[in-house]
Each structure stands twice: as structure tokens, then as C-alpha cells.
Structure 1
Amino acid sequence: MTITVALIMAITMIVLLVLGVPICIAIAISSLVAGANALDFNMMLQTGAQRTFTGISVFTLIAIPFFILAGNIMNQGGIAIRLMNFARLLVGKIPGSYAHTNSMANMMFGAISGSGVAAASAMGTIIGPIAVKEGYSRNYMATVNIATAPTGLLIPPSNVLITYSLVSGGTSVAALFLAGYIPGILWGLSCMVVAYFWAKRLGYKGDSQKITASLAIKVTLDAIPSLLLIIIVIGGIVAGAFTATEGAIVAVVYSLILSIIYRSITWKALVQIYADSAKMTGIIVLLIGVSSIMSWVISFVNIPSLVGEMLNGVSSNPIIILLIINIILLIVGTFLDTTPAILIFTPIFLPIAIQCGLSPVEFGIVITFNLCIGTITPPVGNILFVGVKVAQTTIERVIKPLIPFYIVIIAVLMLCTYVPQISSFIPELCGYEATLPK
């Protein structure tokens, strides 16, 4: 029965997606159709309704709309330009200075806003035109911007990690946040290495502007209020001063106050920000609700055990099994957006990853890392499309230059997979149990 249900679910979803059915509807229909082969259809409908309600009746889930709102406020609240100036202060003298500034700014702004798309849009719009005027290739800047924008999905606060926490059965959000720092920073730094050698080959030099002590102090002081948001929110969550949900509300209030102080946001813009945030929240909550049906069906018919047996049939070596999981997730990420992919594949692969020696926290970083790569690859990479659009170039012109970045990013992914202490080091240092008992 397990194989039959799994095949029905997979085939139904693929057919619906090919027909252009929205992902949330495709998940709901495929789950109900597959589940009806294990239960009476009427009972399956009742169970589906109950699971949908249960899936969204989680206190932690409230954090997502507030982090979305905070990110949208930051995107228009004058925070991006201050972080860009601070990044330029840090790395402006390195050959290819604008590319490194873009990378550092993406890491900081993406982390604060929790959105790779917002980072790619903001930094591509601010830094790209300046760099082009200074003689930088439009495609070079677009490529660097695209490659580094997803770092904010790993460096906390991250809505993706909150979603994973929910679907994985309550993995500590604070531990996941802390676990994302080193992998996210390694992603950004590895891309900066590629950008450096590329800049040397193209003859791009460092920033010629003389940085005086007074300018450095001014730029730093301007950036400190924005950077404090990370310290306040993440520090408060880790210290137990407030929950992830309360931290998200703090982020909204803080970013709104900053935007008002900077006088960079209007009442009209604020109304649009609320509308956009509500729309995005509705999409994510609906996805989480219907994915709860799929997660229940997957568990009820024991699909993880089936997948585990199939992988063990290929090899009993954990190294090979984890490699296969990574390959599958990399392929999935090119076709599915991050949130639905997390919701669908976490229940399938998490039990297998635990058997291979990874903790839920460590696997959370691995699956998120994999799916973040999908945001910068065709055919549906949303960050890829945004990065290309703001740079006024084409996908065909950036795909080849992106290949070296793909290589180093995947190398970092493999490092995080097979050296899980990279993810668990900071959580364990802060007192969170991130590894399995030996």
C-alpha cells in the first residue's frame, strides 16, 4: 500500500504542476487523492480538514507574518543604503570592491530582512548602477548579487528555518537560528573569493576614495542602529528574554521606528507594505496548512521507511545516502520554491538523516542550504529572476558566469553535510543540544 500511495501522490502532484495548478492546490489535491487509498474518502476529507487547522494552529507560526512585515519595512525604510555604506567601508579596498560590497551588504541586509529576494532587489538597485558607472561589467555585478543574495535565508532571522521548525516537530528555533550563522557566512565568503579572482582577471581595482577617520566613524554610527536589530532579536531569543514570535514583533516595531527616524517611509507606502505582507503571509499559511495533510499521509503510510529502504538498497553507507539526499534536494530546489519544498520533503528525509547521524538542527541547515541554491538556478529561481531584472540583463548572460559560484557554494554545502559540527558548533556553545547522543 505504501508504494501505491507514494506513486499516486507523486504522479498526481507532477501532473497538476505541469497543468499550471497553484502549488498549494496541487499539494492539497494530491494528498487527499493519495490518502483516500488508505482511508475512506469521507474520513480522509475530515482528517484533511483537521490536519489543516492543526498545522496552522501553532504559536510559533505567528512569527512568520511579523518577520515578513519587518523585512518589507526595512526594504523601503532607508536601512539598505546604510548597510551598503558600512559594507563598502569594510571591503572597499579589495580588488573588485563593488562586488565585495554587494556580497557583504547582501549578507547583512538579507539577514536583517530575512529575504533573499529583498536583498537582491535592494542591493542590485543601489550598488549595481554605481558599479556600472565606474566601469564594472553589468553581468559581473548581477552574477555576484544573485550568488550572494540567498545568504540571508541561512543567516537569522529566517522564515525558512521557522517553517522547518514547525514541520520537523518543534525543533528549537533559537538553535536553528544559531546554526545558520557559519554556513551562511561561509557561503558569502566563498563567493567573495570567486569574485576576487574574477576581478583580478578583469582588472577591477579597489575603491580609490580616501577613507578618513571622521567618515569611517560616521558610516559606522549610521549602520549601528540597523545592525543592532540582529543583536536585539537573536540575542533576545537565545537569552530567553522573548520567544521567536515576540522577537518578530520586536523586529517590526524597531524597523518601523528606524524608518520614521530616517524619514524614508510614507503613510501611503506603509499601507502598501501592510497589503503586500498580508498577501505573502496568506500564501505561506495556506501552504503550511495543506502541507500538514501531506505530512500526515506521508507518516500514516510510512513513506519515510520506504524511502529509507530504497536508499539502503543502493548503499548502507551514510556518506552515500546523504549524497543522494543532497542530489535529490538540489534537483527539487530547481523546480519548487523553498517553503513548499521544506514542507514536503522534511517529513520524508528527516528520519533518514537522523539514522545517518545528523540531528534535526543539522539537517535543517542542510535542507535549507540545498533549497536556497534552487533560488538562484533556473527554471524557477526567484532570486535569479529578480537579480537579472534589477541589473537589466538576461539569464543567458549570467548563467555561465554563475557556474564557478555554483561550484564553491555546493562545496560549502558538502562541507556542512559531512562536517555537521559547522552547524552545531554555535548552538552547542550556547547550551543547545544540537547533536545526537553517541
Structure 2
Amino acid sequence: MISLLLLFLACLFFALRVPVSIAMALATLIAFVAAGIPLRVVASQMVFGVDSYALLAVPFFVYAGNVMNVGGITERIFTFARALFGWMTGGLAQVNVAASVIFAGMSGSALADLAGLGAVEMRAMRENGYPAGFSAGITLASCTIGPIVPPSIILVIYALATDTSVGRLFLAGIGAGLVIAACLMVHVYIHVKRTRAEWGRPERFSGARVRLTAREGLPAILAPVVILAALAFGVTTPSELGAVASLYALMVALWYRSMDWAKLWQALTSTVTTTAVIMLLFAVAGAMNFVIARERVAHEAAIWMAEAVTNPVLGILAINLFLVVIGMFLEGPIAILVIAPILIDVVAGYGMDPVTFGVMLSFNVLIGMITPPVGIGLFVGARVAGITPERTLRATMPFLVPLFVGLAIIAFVPAVTLWLPGLVMGP
């Protein structure tokens, strides 16, 4: 009963537009008082919520994404992707997806992808006659790949919330990210072929152009290779990987001579602000999860779901529908911190591996990022595209189809997320 009161109050405060961290904190304090738990426990649980070595990766990943955006690295990634993939039917729309996959190997944030690389992509598409709505829609859809392909801030949050291996989650995200990208590319191909859109005509392929852009952008292009190799070969731990990513991003920006003190300060201040918000959410979620765990909500939910839905396929489908709705109202990190500890026992009853569940849950909340009513991605995308959020929403709706297809593949084909972790790290 106390857990229901806590969740009800949190949702009520969200609806009243109380800042998320404050809403969660107020709901948790009221729940502690209602349960008769000494308030000093709140402080201890908040400290416990951020007492994790793996959390060191978060500010480094955020910093790496900020350095790439202010250091001009995104421009070179897009130019190379255009030379390599522009010949495909759909032209720059296909380049948009491919560039997001490459960029994802350095940044763990969808909003960093959207505000940085997305601005470059939409500007190029606008200059080549692509409709503003279509450009915004494909950019919003492709930016969901960023936090799935490692390094990923959202997967680190899930790992800490459920005590799952960060390394396995990162490796699982590679296969899942490629599946999502393939679904989007097929959708773009079918759309352009069906509508015979003139703006979607492919560009002429030039091997010389590919070699030139590859040579000029080699340091930026190699970033995902360096980061993933460090993880796969055990050179660094997942927590240390954030430091490797940020250091490499800074070195590349200095190599291109595109970094000055003003841009460095901009990247640092943005990193501090973002990290502070994430850490506060972790602290508050630590106290909130204490109340939920005390009442054995996860255990009771697992028993109820097992009795209500015995078929694993229907059970996983029902959980995905639930997560889609949750993602529409709660931002990604919050949804994971609140929902993951409860549902991990439920999906275990259906035979789903926690690594697969982590990727599935993360992608669900990322889809929620581009859907109303919260949908912060819609507002950022609309601002970057220079159109209204309503128009952005209408343009994004068709791209939900390939995203949901990708989600279904991740949920029901375990090999997508488990093959590579098993190959690299063993059973």
C-alpha cells in the first residue's frame, strides 16, 4: 500500500509539472512518514544510491558527447557516412541512420546525438530539398540508436539498478543497435520507392570521395573501434571506458584544431549540469527503491504476473505494452530506476535473460522519448528542425513502425543481444 501511495504521489507531482527530482523526493518523504520509517534512513539510502564505482562512467560519457559536438567531430562523421552510404535509395535519410550508428560509438546520449549530429543532418537534408518534417522524423527515430550502442549512459543506469554486468550490456547493445538501424533503413527504402520522392534519390557513389573523407575523418571514425576494442579485449573496465572515450574525444578535437578554451569550458559546464541531475536522480531513487523493496513489490508482482499470464510470449508482449505507456510519461533514467527492479523478477519468470531485458527496457523508454506527452525529444527535434512540435510529432509517427519491429526482434530473438556477450565474455 505504501508503494502504491509513493508511485501515485510521484505521478501526481509529475502531472503538476513539479521538477522530476523534487517530485520523487517529496513522494519518497511522504511514503517514509506514512510507513513510520525514521527520516534519517532517507539520507543513508540516498548516499547508498550514488555509492557505486560504475557511476564514474556517467560524467565521462556525457563529456565525450559534449566534446564531439563542440569540437566539430560530428561534421566529419556525417561527411564520411554520406560518402559511404549516400548511394542507397533514400539518399541522405540512409546517411542519417548510418551516421547515428557511427556517432553512437562515442556518445551515450540520445539528446547529444539529436542536438549535435542531428543539427548537421537536418541542415544537409534541408539544403538538398528534403521536407522538414521527414528530416525531423528520421532524425528523431535514428537518435534512439545512440544510447543502445555502447558506450551507453542508460545501460549503465540499468546495470546499477539491477546488478547486471555493464560489459555484457554494452556488447548486447551492438547487435540490438544494428537491428534497429536495419529496420529504419528498410523503412526508408520502402517509403522512397513507394512514394517515388524526388528528394530521396541516391547520390553518385565515388570511391575517391570515400577514401578522401575516410582519410580526413579517420581519427573520428576510429573512435568507436578504439572504445569497443578496449572493452572487448579487457584493456579497461566498463567504468574506465568512459575515461577512455572522453580522453580520445578530446585528443581528436585537438588533432583537428577545432577546440579552444571557450568550447572546452562549454563542454565542461554542460557535463557538470547534466551529471548533477543524473546523480540527484540516483540518490532519490535509492531512497524510493528502499520503500518498494521493503514491501516486496517485485516479488508480489512476479507472482501476480506468473499467475495472470502463463504464456511467456504473451507475458513479454504485455510487459512491452506496459513499458510503452510508462515511457510516454516518465523520462528514461527515471523509468529504469523505478521500473527495472520491479520487473526483472517478472521477466525472469518468463525465461528472459536480464541482459536482454535491459536492452529491451532501455529501447522502450527511448521510444517514449519521442512520443507525447513528455517526449522531450520531440521538443528538441522541433527546435533543431525549426518547425512546431505538432508537425514534428506527425512526421515521426510513421517511423514508430520500424522502431516497434526492432523492439519485437530484440524481445523475441535472444540471440540478437546474447550472442556477442557470450562469444566475448563466455556463458
TM superposition score normalised by structure 2: 0.95
Q: Cα distance 1:367–1:22, how it changes in 2: closer, same or farther (>3 A)? A: same
SS at match of 2:103: helix
How far did residue 418 of structure 1 move?
Answer: 1.6
Count of aligned residue pairs for this structure pair: 425
How far did residue 374 of structure 1 move?
Answer: 0.7
SS at match of 2:264: helix
1:21 matched to 2:21: no
Q: Is contact 1:128-1:142 (8 Å) kept?
A: yes
1:245 matched to 2:242: no
1:221 matched to 2:218: no
How far did residue 245 of structure 1 move?
Answer: 2.2
Q: Is contact 1:178-1:427 (8 Å) kept?
A: yes
How far did residue 353 of structure 1 move?
Answer: 1.0
The aligned counterpart of 1:366 is 360
The aligned counterpart of 2:290 is 296
**Structure 1, unaligned stretches of length 5 or more?**
434-438
Between 301-310 and 351-360, the greater mean CA deviation after superposition: 301-310
| Counterparts of 1:63 and 1:383, CA distance in 2 | 23
1:137 matched to 2:131: yes
SS at match of 1:154: coil
Q: Aligned match of 1:195 in 188, 191, 210?
A: 188
Q: Aligned match of 2:273 in 260, 263, 279?
A: 279
SS at match of 1:55: helix
SS at match of 2:217: helix
| Counterparts of 1:235 and 1:297, CA distance in 2 | 40
Q: Is contact 2:183-2:405 (8 Å) kept?
A: no
The residue correspondences of 1:102-141 to structure 2 (distance < 5 A) are 102-141=96-135
Deviations 1:188-230 (A, max 9, x none): 22112221222231233444456242x3212112233123222
1:93 maps to a residue whose letter is W
Deviations 1:399-433 (A, max 9, x none): 33323311221122122112222111110111343
Between 8-17 and 310-319, the greater mean CA deviation after superposition: 310-319
SS at match of 1:249: helix
SS at match of 1:316: coil
The aligned counterpart of 1:357 is 351
2:314 maps to a residue whose letter is I
1:101 maps to a residue whose letter is V
The aligned counterpart of 2:169 is 176
1:31 maps to a residue whose letter is T
Q: Is contact 1:106-1:120 (8 Å) kept?
A: no
1:252 maps to a residue whose letter is S
Q: Cα distance 1:34–1:85, how it changes in 2: closer, same or farther (>3 A)? A: same
| Counterparts of 2:42 and 2:205, CA distance in 1 | 63
The aligned counterpart of 1:436 is none
| Counterparts of 1:330 and 1:102, CA distance in 2 | 25
Deviations 1:47-89 (A, max 9, x none): 2211111111111101101111111001111211111111112
Q: Is contact 2:166-2:238 (8 Å) kept?
A: yes
| Counterparts of 1:370 and 1:228, CA distance in 2 | 29
SS at match of 1:135: coil
Q: Aligned match of 2:340 in 346, 352, 360?
A: 346
Between 196-205 and 381-390, the greater mean CA deviation after superposition: 196-205
2:7 maps to a residue whose letter is A
The aligned counterpart of 2:37 is 41
Q: Cα distance 1:91–1:309, how it changes in 2: closer, same or farther (>3 A)? A: same
Deviations 1:368-389 (A, max 9, x none): 0111111111122222222221
Identity, % of aligned pairs?
32
The aligned counterpart of 1:101 is 95
TM superposition score normalised by structure 1: 0.93
Q: Cα distance 1:401–1:268, how it changes in 2: closer, same or farther (>3 A)? A: closer
| Counterparts of 2:392 and 2:191, CA distance in 1 | 14
How far did residue 252 of structure 1 move?
Answer: 1.4
| Counterparts of 1:76 and 1:412, CA distance in 2 | 31
Deviations 1:130-161 (A, max 9, x none): 32232221111111111111101100000001
**Structure 2, unaligned stretches of length 5 or more?**
none
Q: Cα distance 1:32–1:306, how it changes in 2: closer, same or farther (>3 A)? A: farther
| Counterparts of 2:375 and 2:104, CA distance in 1 | 17
How far did residue 97 of structure 1 move?
Answer: 0.6
**Aligned-residue RMSD, C-alpha:** 1.7
1:430 matched to 2:427: no
The aligned counterpart of 1:376 is 370
The aligned counterpart of 2:206 is 211
Q: Is contact 1:95-1:204 (8 Å) kept?
A: no
Q: Cα distance 1:205–1:319, how it changes in 2: closer, same or farther (>3 A)? A: closer
Q: Is contact 1:194-1:404 (8 Å) kept?
A: no
| Counterparts of 1:278 and 1:30, CA distance in 2 | 26
1:79 matched to 2:73: yes
Q: Aligned match of 1:151 in 145, 167, 173?
A: 145
1:203 maps to a residue whose letter is E
The aligned counterpart of 1:311 is 305
Q: Cα distance 1:221–1:131, how it changes in 2: closer, same or farther (>3 A)? A: same
Flag as ranges the 4+ runs of structure 1 deviating above 6 A.
none
The residue correspondences of 1:229-268 to structure 2 (distance < 5 A) are 229-268=223-262
Q: Is contact 2:289-2:338 (8 Å) kept?
A: yes
Deviations 1:151-190 (A, max 9, x none): 0110000000111111112x11111000011111111221
